[in-house]
Every structure is written in C-alpha cells, then in structure tokens.
Copies of this chain bind each other. A is one copy, B any other.
C-alpha cells in the first residue's frame, strides 16, 4: 500500500524512484511494528520541506544569507532564512546520530539544515528533501575555515561567552557562530542547552556545528522546545526512529549491498536475530569472555535455541523446522565463528535450525575508504531489518540499527576484568540512542544537577551511566 511505502506519511511523495530505490522500498524489508508518525510531525516535515526548498542552496534567500557572512554583523534587511550547518566529523554511527539531532534542532528553530559532504556523504545517503539538496554548496565561504573551528576559535560560542564577546541582552549578533558540541566540549559550550542561550542564538543567521553527539535528550530539557516536541512525538522515544527513517536513505550502491545480502542469506529464514559486536578494548582480541557473554545473553534471553552439547550426534530432523538466521556484525570474525561452530557441532534441543552470517570482517576502522563505509552503513541497515537485536554497550553503530529498526535491543553490558558480566545483557528501556556527553547543569538554578533525574522521560542510559536518553515512562516505568 502507498501508505506503507511512505511509512505512514513520514516520507514525501514525488521523488524519482530509480535514483534512490531504497526510499520507497525499505518498508517491504522491515517488520511492520505498527507505529505511526504523529500528524503534527508529518505536518512539520512537510513545512520544513517547503522551508528547505525556499531557503536551500542556490536560492535567492540562500545567496543573501551567504552575503551576510562577509559583513561581521547581521544586517537589518536580511532574509528570514536561517541555517544550521553540520560539519562532517567522527565515525559513521556518530555522524548519523548527530545529523539527526541537528535536524531536530533545525525543526525546532526553523532553520535550514545543511550538511558538509565530507568524504563520502554522497556515496552513502540519498538526498532526503524534495526539490533541493541538503548538501552545503562546495563554494560555501566558511568551508575553508572548518578545520580551524575548535574551542579556541574566537567564533566559538563557548569561547565568546568566556571572552564576553556576546551578551544576552544585545540585539547585535554575529552573522555566524561556531557551536562546539563534540564529546570534549566544556561548561561554556554546554550552555548551548539553556533557554537564554537559545534565545540569543535564535538571532544568529548561521550556526555552524561540530558534533558527534546525539544531543536530542537535552533538547527535551529546554523549556522553549517542550511543547513542540510533545506534539511532534507523543510517543517520545521515537525521535530517532522517525527522523532516522526520514533522513537516511541508502544510495543505490549501498541498497545493492543491503538487498543482495538480505535476499541471499537472510530472507528465507523464519526469524532473524541481529548481533552487533563492538569491542572497545585496545588489545587485539578475540576475547573468550565476549564469546561467552554473547552465548549466555542470547541463550538466557531465549533469543536463540539451546544446543544439546551432549548429543553431538545426528538427530533426525523435523520436516520443516523453524529456522533462524543470526546476522553478526563485527570487525572480527571470531564471534560469529564461535556461534556458527556451536550450531554446526551440536543439534539444537528443539530441532530448530540456526544459520550464522557475517557480511564483512574489516579488522579495524578505516573511515577513509569508500567501500568500508558503504559496508558499515549496509550492515547497520541490515541489523535494523532483523526481528530481534543484541547490541554492544557504548556503540553508536548499534544505536543506529535499533533506532531505524524500531527495536529495544538487548545491550551486552560492558565487560570488566575479562569476565562475563552478570547479567550479560539488559533489555534497553527504549529504542532511542544514548547521549553520551550530556550537560549536567541546571540552567535556571545555574548549578550542577543530575540531568537524568529532571523529567520522567529523560533517564540515564543502560550502558553509559552518565549518559541520558529519551524513554516513554508510561510504558517503561513510573
């Protein structure tokens, strides 16, 4: 049905189908989890598309806005178009999450999102908006300075506050401000998440942001955005689920990887389980305790059938036993090897059939290689197509998969002392990604606070204790 194809109205109609086959085909690969975007979100996206069309690259308003960058301060008769520019930065999972967060910020502040294409944006993602590109034009005058945009730059918002180069009561604002919202940002940079600062920044035509964070949970704590977020996301913990599906459509090259792999290895199984293994350990590995952890999580949670270790022999099989495909993604092969051998060497106790598949084993992160990034993106996406998901603590790669797939994953608890944690994994409270570096500051009281305890729908994450994430307390606790 057309409603399915447009994901319940999330996607706009009228794109050219052939140039980005994934956009209108993804629904047929994904389990229907009976969720619908709110009418308000849909309306918001449609009006954003209008804004983007009107103010986006190469429009008159865009050209006028660019002119502002040449003068130091905002002109009176400037256009009403304002922008937020996302600078290409960090690993692919981080990039996807931070673009989604920046897009939500754009929606909330009526800004146009422009994305610095960096090394491989065009290779990985289709254009998400009809009629006009989301890519920052290559002749954007500030691009050459991106490398110098850091916390010491005089246009960095945190630095400006330290230098008292802006004040909250002024009407004169600079034509652009650099926002440093990366993992290493400091107390002043973090004031970005306060109402007063948002009010000041709202006057600045160009915000240029460097971020590797999914900072959405902290947007929920800004009073000015509260109402709008409530209307857009009545089911709160669906922000990345919807914005991710709205923004990130694999290019045909990546869609080829996804659909070929799916058709060849996964489609014929009755059920699928994704297991995303990301080991943050400087030693080379593989680690026996991680293998044990995966086995113990998947078996204890009944995600996989147990094997009959004593019966190494032949057990006559049922006619059409249930089959499960395990999709393992990992930089190393050993973890899937371990599962594959287990189900090869022993029959399952219930006669079910379990196949284990791993698309690649790239050995180490190689962010500069085209095919490497294509495969990473294809694998996140393939994970998102599985019926159930096990992810690794701390990994944005896993967050992308769970979010696109609309699944609460089982999170493999971070190991300590090379032992299997007890419990080995915990069911996530929501499918939302975790914000790893939230401010711990109460803007009104102007003092430190526990940001994970201010409202019922922003809680500390399961995997990163100081991180925060959006949940739906009605479903999950309270």
Q: How many residues of A contact B (CB 8 A)?
A: 36
B323 touches A256 (CB 8 A): no
B353 touches A263 (CB 8 A): yes
Question: A263-B353, A371-B345 in contact; A314/B268 too (CB < 8 A)?
Answer: no
CA distance A343 to B260 in the complex (A): 8
Selected contact of A255 from candidates B251, B252, B314, CB within 8 Å: B314
Residue-wise interface mask of A (304-344) relative to B, using a CB-CB cutoff of 8 A (1 in contact, 0 not): 00000000111111000101000000000100000001011
> Separation in Å of the A170 CB from the closest CB of chain B?
52
Which residues of chain A from 45 to 69 have any CB-CB distance to chain B below 8 Å in the complex? Answer: none
A264 touches B354 (CB 8 A): yes
Selected contact of A313 from candidates B253, B265, B355, CB within 8 Å: B253
Question: A264-B353, A265-B355 in contact; A344/B257 too (CB < 8 A)?
Answer: yes
> Is A259 in the interface zone, CB < 8 Å from B?
yes
> Is A347 in the interface zone, CB < 8 Å from B?
yes
CA distance A22 to B316 in the complex (A): 11
> Is A137 in the interface zone, CB < 8 Å from B?
no
> Is A105 in the interface zone, CB < 8 Å from B?
no
B353 touches A314 (CB 8 A): no
B313 touches A252 (CB 8 A): yes
CA distance A345 to B313 in the complex (A): 38
CA distance A251 to B333 in the complex (A): 30
Question: A264-B343, A345-B371, A353-B263 in contact; A316/B256 too (CB < 8 A)?
Answer: no
Which residues of the other chain, B, contact A321 by a CB distance below 8 angstroms? 263
Which residues of the other chain, B, contact A314 by a CB distance below 8 angstroms? 21-22, 252-253, 255-256, 259
Which residues of the other chain, B, contact A360 by a CB distance below 8 angstroms? 341
Chain B CB within 10 Å, residue with most, of A256, A315, A333: A256
Selected contact of A260 from candidates B257, B264, B268, B353, CB within 8 Å: B353
> Is A8 in the interface zone, CB < 8 Å from B?
no
B264 touches A323 (CB 8 A): yes
> Separation in Å of the A266 CB from the closest CB of chain B?
10
Which residues of the other chain, B, contact A185 by a CB distance below 8 angstroms? none
Selected contact of A345 from candidates B22, B257, B263, B317, CB within 8 Å: B257
> Is A27 in the interface zone, CB < 8 Å from B?
no
> Separation in Å of the A19 CB from the closest CB of chain B?
10
Residue-wise interface mask of A (343-380) relative to B, using a CB-CB cutoff of 8 A (1 in contact, 0 not): 11111000001110001100000000001000000000
> Is A15 in the interface zone, CB < 8 Å from B?
no
CA distance A257 to B314 in the complex (A): 8
Which residues of the other chain, B, contact A233 by a CB distance below 8 angstroms? none
Which residues of the other chain, B, contact A259 by a CB distance below 8 angstroms? 314, 317
> Is A225 in the interface zone, CB < 8 Å from B?
no
Selected contact of A359 from candidates B261, B333, B344, B347, CB within 8 Å: B344
> Separation in Å of the A116 CB from the closest CB of chain B?
25
Who on chain B is nearest to A353 by CB? B264
Selected contact of A355 from candidates B264, B312, B354, CB within 8 Å: B264
Give 5 new A-B contacts, CB below 8 A, not counting A252-B314, A264-B353.
A21-B314, A255-B313, A257-B345, A260-B347, A268-B268
List 8 A-B pairs, minimum CB-CB distance, nearest first. A252-B313, A256-B314, A252-B314, A255-B314, A264-B355, A21-B314, A253-B313, A264-B353
